[in-house]
A and B are shown apart, each in its own frame.
Chain A
Amino acid sequence: MQIKLTVNGTARSDEVEPRLLLVHYLREVCGLRAANVGCDTTSCGACTVLLDGESVKSCTVLAVQANGRSVTTAEGLVAEDGTMSAVQQAFRENHGLQCGFCTPGMVMAATSLLAENPDPTEQQVREGLEGNFCRCTGYHNIVRSVLAAAGKLSRAESAGASPEVSA
């Protein structure tokens, strides 16, 4: 089936099998490798991308379901001049990653969370990321990163000078 959609701001048209999953379309047809296939069972969130601005697990969306719609991956958050988005920058500054496998999904889930709730509490951040697993268990700095992106941490806190965000 021929699908037409926008991927990271660029219009595309591709012939795809109906059973092709969106994550495989992005990785193998578009060559965008940020979204990872982790659990492949709608659990871990490593494949999270934005569909019309909202977070979805691209292992559980068919590419044909994205026909006529807009998809954003972590690559698409970076400006043309290489400037990272506020969420990406906050993950970098707060060391919101360890091995990095879950990171693109975390960043996309956080981007969607902050679009829906620009001023979240720490509890809302934790609940808002419940669909994303970090098997390094690095949640502490991930939550800090999202709060920093929301402007909820002072500069000193954001730089890690403390006080600690409660676990």
Chain B
Amino acid sequence: MIPATFDYEVADSAAHALSLLAEHGEDAKLLAGGHSLLPMMKVRLAQPAVLVDIARVGELSGIRSEGNQLVIGATTRHADVAGSDLVRAEVPLLAYAAGQVGDPQIRHRGTIGGSLAHADPSADLPMTLLALGGSVEITGPAGVRTVAADDFFVGPFETALSPDELLSAVRVPRGGDVPWGYQKFVRRANDWAIVGVAAYDGRVALANMGGTPLRALAVEEALRGGASAAEAAAHAADGTSPGYDFHADTDYRKHLARVLTKRALQGETG
């Protein structure tokens, strides 16, 4: 499968990338690792006229501490997040989740910013950012704005990003001792979650239980009220409208959400 033709531009800075986006408008797409975009281009679900390659922009990559947060550049690869001593010590949930994306080859190419901007409701990192209560830094013509994860995912594969903006960094709270759990139910190796759950310090987020990653707000409320993990997890599917496919119908997804939430709240990974 071959992508449709496009022009290829290499950005040498974030400002250069923004000027290329401004120049080419909605016909342009940003390319970093390409592990969400290129598969869509190969099946012609995406046919951008221009690709702006930001993978060589040094200022968009890397991991650093800033106050009580870790700041992770958008083009930092999953393998680098998963293997970072800093992330493993300070935000172990994020290191674990990054290590669950795809497979080793995919983690050598795919980036944290790309995965979040792609906003697949079944993906690992969107629900993880929600559970962490993290945020994204968005750089655009008017400067930098910060958008909380709760406001970033607005629909299936749709985010608060405008076509002339760039997701430049990800911010997550430091908290090496905070209890967390992670559950991803798959039928095959290296697949997306049929249902996924990330739990962090009383916050619970679900993957593939709707058109966006979701907070399990009823679970969180029950936990605040003193409910046990098992009692709270019984509310995991409250208010959700999951889809169905040949892997799982709606009722089965709701069942999975309850079971996996209980396990995640108990600090289990898998």
Contact = CB atoms under 8 A, between A and B. Distances in A.
Q: Do A and B bind each other?
A: yes
A109 B105 contact: yes
B190 A43 contact: yes
Nearest to A40: B1
B104 A60 contact: no
Interface stretch (A13-21, A74-82, A84-92, A145-153): A13-21
* Contact count band on A: 20 to 34
* Majority-rule SS of B interface residues: loop
A120 to B, nearest CB: 12
A34 B53 CA distance: 28
B104 A55 contact: yes
A51 B105 CA distance: 10
B82 to A, nearest CB: 11
Interface string B162-201: 0000000000000000000000000001100000000000
Contacts of B46: none
Given A1-B8, A19-B4, A61 B34 contact: yes
* Contact count band on B: 20 to 34
A1 to B, nearest CB: 6
Contacts of A113: 104
Contacts of A142: none
Given A41-B39, A60-B39, A19 B5 contact: yes
Interface of B: 1-8, 31, 34-35, 38-39, 42, 51, 53, 55, 79, 102-106, 108-109, 189-190
